[in-house]
Amino acid sequence: MKLLKTSLITTTALTLSLSTAAFADSNEAYLDQQDVANSAIVDQSGGDNNKAGSAGLKMTQDGFTAADGYNQLSITQSSDNNEIGLIGSGVSQVGKASNPGAVSSNVATVTQSGGGSNVIGELVQFHNGGPGSAGVPNTLTVKQNGTSNNITTINQEGKVNDRNTATITMSGTSDNIDLVQQKVSNNGSGDNTLTITMNGVSNGIGDFTGFANGSGAVAAHFRQFNATRTNANVIIGGTGNLVGTYQQGKDNDVGTLEVTGDNNQLGVLQHGNSNLVNVAAIAGNGNNVGISQMGNTNGASVTVTNDNNAFGVLQNGNDNSATVSVFGDGNGLTGTTPLLAGSALAAAGSHVSFEAGLIQQQGNDNTVLASVTGNNNLFGTLQWGADNSITATVNGNSNQSAVVQVGSSNTASFSQTGGTNNAGIIQ
């Protein structure tokens, strides 16, 4: 039986709340607080091997402030092998405001409870919210409740009058998040907001493949940088799903990404400003979707139902719009779609950048409206230029189509009904 071991240096406002069971095993808490208005509550309830820090890697709240600067930390762990802040920088909150009118605040609340090895390896919040900052930047709430949940790194920065907010809830078995990163710069002047809820089995484990990998996002990584009201809301259930987002720029929005089936992959990358992604809830199995937006004011709306569909959307430019709706099984580019042949093959071969299964827009003000209903349909489009338009409707099975538009102001519209139709359009 080991007592809770503590190392406290220059502390300001400290509470260590221990239940009788906390003395049953190897509970440890190491804390280092400095400067003004730091506050810490560490409650490790229950037995087993709970840790919040280590002798060489303490939980540290610095402040670095001449006046205001409110670091607050509350960590509650219960039962089994919970650990927090034992790799990288551990748990570190800085603040770092200065007069005149200095206001800076980091707030972190972490609760891990029962049933196995919940782990948060690194949690870092840094904010220079002054001088004159009126907000409360960097707010993090993490709850893990289950068996072998893991978060490797959480990193929120924020400067001047900006804020980061992250709320993460993981409950289930063996769910994983590798990285949560939110960062605003001096010219960001806005908020990053991230909400992740995971409730399933073995989600976030492994690497992207196919179109999800081609998006440029990384599985189980959720990254936001410069911000003016950038948002990412993620809900993951089911088993074996992989989701990742990478938002670089200002005012990008991915809405709510909800994946509740099994073995789905969804990667979203936004690099630029004011891009919008809307993905309808994915409740099927084995779907693989990747969305990349590079530029400004692009919009992508994706709906996919049923199982084993695989396709991507790539927008490189400004003011492009793509709406893709897929209803059925095995559509896009999968092991069950037909090989390119005939007119579709000829169209695909007309431009080196064409990719089967990819809705690709290279340029500005291009529009795609595509609806696919049925099974094992192969499709792909390429717009290389400006003000091009494609409208496509497919109803049936084992159809294939390829559209290539090069230049400006081209318009293409086609419909396929039934099975084994073949369409190729070159403009």
- 50-90: per-residue pLDDT in tens? 665 555 655 555 555 555 566 777 677 676 677 766 666 66
| pLDDT value, residue 132 | 43
Amino acid residing at 424? G
For the chain, the domains span 306-426
With left for phi above 0 and alpha for psi between -120 and 50, is residue 344 left, alpha or beta?
Answer: alpha
Token look-up 């992604």 returns: 277
- 207-253: per-residue pLDDT in tens? 999 999 999 999 999 988 776 667 778 999 999 999 999 998 888 89
Structure-block tokens of residue 333: 């580019």
DSSP H or E segment with residue 371: strand 367-375
| pLDDT value, residue 21 | 40
| pLDDT value, residue 19 | 40
Structure-block tokens of residue 65: 């402030």
**Which CA distances in Å does 47 have to 50, 118, 240?**
7, 14, 31
pTM for the whole structure: 0.86
**Which CA distances in Å does 297 have to 224, 232, 270, 302, 390?**
17, 17, 10, 17, 19
Amino acid residing at 242? L
| pLDDT value, residue 241 | 97
Residues in the chain: 427
Nearest to 265 by CA among 313, 201, 210: 210
| pLDDT value, residue 47 | 61
**Dist. CA 411–CA 118, nearest whole Å:** 54
DSSP H or E segment with residue 210: helix 210-214
Per-residue pLDDT of the chain (427 residues; tens, 9 = 90+): 233 333 333 444 544 444 434 445 555 554 555 555 555 556 566 666 666 555 565 555 555 555 556 677 767 767 667 776 666 666 666 666 555 555 666 777 777 777 677 777 677 666 665 544 445 567 777 777 767 777 777 777 666 556 777 888 888 788 888 888 877 765 656 677 788 888 889 999 999 999 999 999 999 999 887 766 677 789 999 999 999 999 988 888 998 999 999 999 999 999 999 999 999 999 999 999 999 999 999 999 999 999 999 999 999 999 999 999 999 999 999 988 889 999 999 999 999 999 999 999 999 999 999 999 999 999 999 999 999 999 999 999 999 999 999 999 999 999 999 999 999 999 9
| pLDDT value, residue 23 | 45
Nearest to 28 by CA among 49, 56, 57, 1: 49
Amino acid residing at 254? V
